[in-house]
Structure 1
């Protein structure tokens, strides 16, 4: 069986500066894969390119065996790719409910389907039900991340890409968010996770990749990477 996502020799540049250099990896359906590495390593650039926000200089991005490297964002959304960016990019002057409804727009759900999506969201994060009539810009950082994640899930994605979901959040909120990401795998969703908290990311992942200087330096099952001396010293605080 072929992988859901296959990235082959991907190069992405900002002008003359190559930020992603020959990256290749696969992601199987129903798996969570983490991408870890230092700041400036090219992790965010990689996700932006996979979502169609940055065109690659060369390389292939195969989704269900079809090369989408030159496809626009809308086409990728239709296929089931979805990105939650680091900045979360909520509509701050709109309510929590309206942000969620907008997330479902691409699927054009019926009234009953929309209600089911909202019920699932509120069961996942009850705090969003309590805040559903509040403006998004009045939420705490943790609540905003819950909303950003939930808005993405309203589109019924097949591949969810998350850029630094724990950034700036309190430890208990981080634990809750990452636990929910782990639960998504049991629902059959595929997740590509860029995360500064490398240990927590690898714990919820099937496999991981280390990016340094725009290139993948280590790949493997998560438990294998957590026991790799070099990875532990660089990213996990181990000796």
Structure 2
């Protein structure tokens, strides 16, 4: 158990863009206690008011504090269940804090593996809808369309196929290509690069570098530590919802791999 969080020190020479201050995120999960059975039997118990559901609290993020500065590309690492994706969702404003807070200078944009695109629509149509949802007008969307298609590097003709025919890798590439078509104040990437091949990861790294220069900050969650080390200038290691280490990529990743045996 980690009781002490790393001390947060403000760098007066840099411009803060995200401040996470004593953040706690708690999920409340309802279940049927010790009762087991099918969904149908559970529904009947609810209807009959039998076996009142019990609530369980899951403390996913525990007192996390740090400051991200303009130009930062921050990797978030940790084992499954350490709170990485929960932290990104909290920064994006999708999860309310139980205690503490998140303050951002600008609008965070979360790009996840399960980012919402319309699976029954073609990739082409999703590009248009995705760009409009990000605030681009039709003229800007048309200008960026060919660039998005080229970056996604789909199989010939697939841009006109419904997205439910895409592989997971193709869908992830298209989502990243759409999200990277505009400048973001804070870009949050959750495992979006995990299914890409080496060529796509090189292009993604170059695009993230470009976004860092033109925008605010980039946060990246990925199990592939090589991607984190090559892409980020800083790494935060989460363990059981707490920050165990925050620093330069090589030092943090080395300590993490030694501790976790990865």
TM-score between the two structures when normalised by the length of structure 2:
0.74
What's the counterpart of residue 158 of structure 1? Answer: 185
Kept in 2, the 8 Å contact 1:182–1:205? The answer is no
Instruction: Determine which of 88, 112, 121 is the counterpart of 1:47.
Output: 88
Q: 1:164·1:193 contact (CA, 8 Å) conserved in 2?
A: yes
**1:4 and 2:17 correspond:** yes
Deviations 1:186-205 (A, max 9, x none): 34243101111123212211
Aligned residue pairs total: 217
Question: Which aligned segments of 4 or more residues in structure 1 are displaced greater than 3 angstroms?
Answer: 106-111, 234-237
- Structure 1: distance between partners of 2:236 and 2:197: 21
Q: What is the Cα deviation at residue 128 of structure 1?
A: 7.1
Cα 1:156–1:98 change in 2 (3 A) is farther
Distance 1:129 1:10 in 2: 46
1-structure distance, mates of 2:156, 2:138: 18
Say whether 1:27 aligns with 2:52: no
The counterpart of 2:258, out of the listed 230, 233, 236, is 233
- Structure 2: unaligned runs, 5 residues or longer: 1-13, 29-56
Do the aligned partners of residues 21 and 117 (structure 1) sit closer, same or farther apart at CA in structure 2, a change above 3 Å counting?
same
User: How far has the Cα of 1:232 moved from its partner?
Assistant: 2.8
1:204 paired residue number? 231
Range 122-131 or range 30-39, more displaced = 122-131
**Unaligned stretches of 5+ in structure 1?**
65-78
Structure-1 separation of matches of 2:23 and 2:224: 25
The answer for the alignment partner of 1:186 in structure 2 is: 210
Give how far 1:218 is off.
Answer: 0.8
Query: Shift of the alpha carbon at 1:214?
Result: 0.2
Residue 195 (structure 1) aligns with: 222
Point out the structure with max Rg over C-alpha.
2
- The answer (yes or no) to whether the contact 1:35–1:194 under 8 Å persists in 2 is yes
TM-score normalized with structure 1 length: 0.81
CA RMSD of aligned residues (A): 2.2
Question: Quick one: which of 78, 87, 90 aligns to 2:117?
Answer: 90
Label 1:89 to 1:108 Cα distance change in 2 as closer, same or farther (>3 A).
closer
CA deviation string 1:180-235 (max 9, x = no partner): 33212234243101111123212211110110100010110112324x4x323245
Q: Distance in 1 between matches of 2:70 and 2:146?
A: 25
**C-alpha distance in structure 1 between counterparts of 2:152 and 2:100, whole Å:** 38
